[in-house]
Structure 1
């Protein structure tokens, strides 16, 4: 029986919806807790002037001096903070969607942070040459921005292809291959930059990524994150190629006998993982205006954690793009909550590790209960 019409597919879909619903409840609870216990803060008031620029609002006090107008807002529940949370979530969530493809197939990718760094660096070098002080400053903004995007995303896709190619050709466990490429790619990024930051991009590129609406809200990373999640979700849930990813993760040997090109599917998931790392890197260099070889340090843990918290099983065969996004949002809310509640920042990594362990343990318990239910039905 093919993976497309397997009776396990509806059961898996219901289970994923249940997990995603649970994550939504957790996110709402975290939001309520941070809103109630986070307190308030006074922030400067801004307005848009006749030239369309956002400027601070001042008033004259009783002594005749000008002072900034301050407004009191909830620390968590305000537009600026929510946009910041969405932006910080987007980089990890986009990569987590790609990592989920790999994990569903039964693999692992430890090199996503290094791919992110190398793609950032090479994309930044191209954009710098096309920047105001670069050798090709006279190029059309459309050409220069397109070249920078191609260099950044193309580098990441190539790295993903190399990962998948070596895993398939050498038949070595993905953990070993991606652990090695993690060190190699980050080393290459350091050699290229000599540890220096790269900036000076065309203004058109910065304006594109940092395009703002309303009260100075930059929503481009959020929009891209949603698009990537939707496309990833459709690929996994609606396309035959996505069902094959689940099939391989569930039982690779059976997939081979059913005629699925296992090596081709494995190669594709690592390319997708590289692609999402490149997209995240592109947004990062556009938003922050620079790149270094140290970018994405430790992102491997955050990305895999987001996928696992989102319901992806490290045993393979289970996970979703929406779950990856929700998992990344849960982790970001915890990180934001530590700051808002003024908890010692040194505890953040400890909390992150505990969350990952709890998620894996719950997944193992869920798998154990599912096996027991299958055995009871078969008797």
Structure 2
């Protein structure tokens, strides 16, 4: 047993060309390809059944609706790959949004924007320290943070939204390239996904994230600073939640203490649908972003077909449960 543990530890951060790592990359490529194929299939189906799906007004709507969730799913991917979970993302969006927006009138958009991402990172730091050093389950820690952040947002504003935001912020949130087809906020999402994928797939830190999720004990034995990496993944998730708050506030021209409700569930769903495993050690930023886009296309297409919002929620639940079931079955088969 000890010999097997040592062998696993040596592989945790082993050479890039190790057969185990190659197989992992092949599996992830397959997952991403399947999600991409499903996305293309949905686009074709809705393009045929809903004539307005490809209209010049609907395409930007799809991108706008996915932008914030895509950014949150990047952060959630880091956390889930370590076998953790961050339930506080939606509430952090609300808290960071109202505090940052309230500062903008007196101190400018830049100061308010920086404050939003700082608040998000601080909540992430709080979550990460508790998860890493107290070993309290991430579900419990982030559920508590969800409640605290939501309550703090309501207390800060008295439950009232903040209006009359600077025009420069609103113009950015609703601006776009390519004749209005590529919104600025989706560009932020693309940049976040690119940077996240590079960090996760091309750095020692990223390999450590996978190692922790695959086998925490082996990661420790191989020299991974597990507590530090764990803290950092929650800081990343919090930082991106703050960025999501900025994007949402700019887009809707309002900072609402009730904003962000269920955003974390959408982000988790995007990661899982993208092939991420709630057991840890598997997933990628690209797949999570594709999962977010798939959810946006699914919601938009069903809405155009006249499906009620209640039925859409039911469909989303079925899709997520199906993805989790497939992942669980795959894990059992591998044992």
1:189 Cα deviation after fit: 0.3
- Supply the distance in 2 between the matched residues of 1:218 and 1:25 (Cα, whole angstroms): 22
Structure 1 counterpart of 2:44, from 17, 32, 41:
32
Structure 2 counterpart of 1:147, from 97, 100, 111:
111
- Supply the distance in 2 between the matched residues of 1:38 and 1:206 (Cα, whole angstroms): 31
SS of the counterpart of 2:57? helix
SS of the counterpart of 1:290? coil
- Supply the distance in 2 between the matched residues of 1:365 and 1:218 (Cα, whole angstroms): 39
Structure 1 partner of 2:84: 107
Would the alpha carbon gap of residues 272 and 4 (structure 1) be closer, same or farther in structure 2, given more than 3 Å must change?
Answer: farther
Partners of 1:100 and 1:320 within 8 A in 2: yes
- Supply the distance in 1 between the matched residues of 2:173 and 2:253 (Cα, whole angstroms): 10
- Supply the distance in 1 between the matched residues of 2:64 and 2:156 (Cα, whole angstroms): 28
Structure 1 counterpart of 2:228, from 242, 256, 264:
264
- Supply the distance in 2 between the matched residues of 1:324 and 1:216 (Cα, whole angstroms): 25
Q: Per-residue displacement from partner, 1:121-142 (whole Å, max 9, x unpaired)?
A: 1111111334xxxxxxxxxxxx
SS of the counterpart of 1:311? coil
Q: Per-residue displacement from partner, 1:222-253 (whole Å, max 9, x unpaired)?
A: 11111111111111110010000000000001
SS of the counterpart of 1:155? helix
Partners of 1:233 and 1:322 within 8 A in 2: yes
- Which residues in structure 2 correspond to 1:223-372 (within 5 Å)? 223-371=187-335
Question: Highest relative contact order (Cα 8 Å, sep 6+), 1 or 2?
Answer: 2
- Supply the distance in 1 between the matched residues of 2:154 and 2:313 (Cα, whole angstroms): 25
SS of the counterpart of 2:54? coil
- Supply the distance in 2 between the matched residues of 1:297 and 1:179 (Cα, whole angstroms): 13
CA RMSD in angstroms, aligned pairs only:
1.3
Structure 1, gaps ≥5 residues long = 40-74, 131-143, 372-379
Q: Per-residue displacement from partner, 1:332-379 (whole Å, max 9, x unpaired)?
A: 1111122110012211111111011000111122223333xxxxxxxx
1:214 Cα deviation after fit: 4.7
Question: Is residue 2:152 matched to residue 1:188?
Answer: yes
- Supply the distance in 2 between the matched residues of 1:188 and 1:119 (Cα, whole angstroms): 10
TM-score (norm 1): 0.83
1:203 Cα deviation after fit: 1.8
Partners of 2:277 and 2:327 within 8 A in 1: yes
- Supply the distance in 1 between the matched residues of 2:231 and 2:89 (Cα, whole angstroms): 15
Question: Is residue 2:14 matched to residue 1:21?
Answer: no
Moved more, 30-39 or 1-10: 1-10
TM-score (norm 2): 0.93
1:215 Cα deviation after fit: 3.9
Structure 2 partner of 1:129: 106
- Supply the distance in 2 between the matched residues of 1:201 and 1:345 (Cα, whole angstroms): 30
- Supply the distance in 2 between the matched residues of 1:311 and 1:87 (Cα, whole angstroms): 23
Question: Is residue 2:176 matched to residue 1:212?
Answer: yes
Structure ID, larger Rg? 1
- Supply the distance in 2 between the matched residues of 1:164 and 1:79 (Cα, whole angstroms): 43
Give the aligned length: 323
- Supply the distance in 2 between the matched residues of 1:254 and 1:159 (Cα, whole angstroms): 29
In terms of fraction of residues, the more helix-rich structure is 2
Structure 1 partner of 2:131: 167
Partners of 2:177 and 2:184 within 8 A in 1: no
Structure 1 counterpart of 2:75, from 98, 102, 110:
98
Structure 1 partner of 2:13: 3
- Supply the distance in 1 between the matched residues of 2:226 and 2:89 (Cα, whole angstroms): 22
Question: Is residue 2:135 matched to residue 1:158?
Answer: no
SS of the counterpart of 1:316? coil
Partners of 1:311 and 1:319 within 8 A in 2: yes
In terms of fraction of residues, the more strand-rich structure is 1
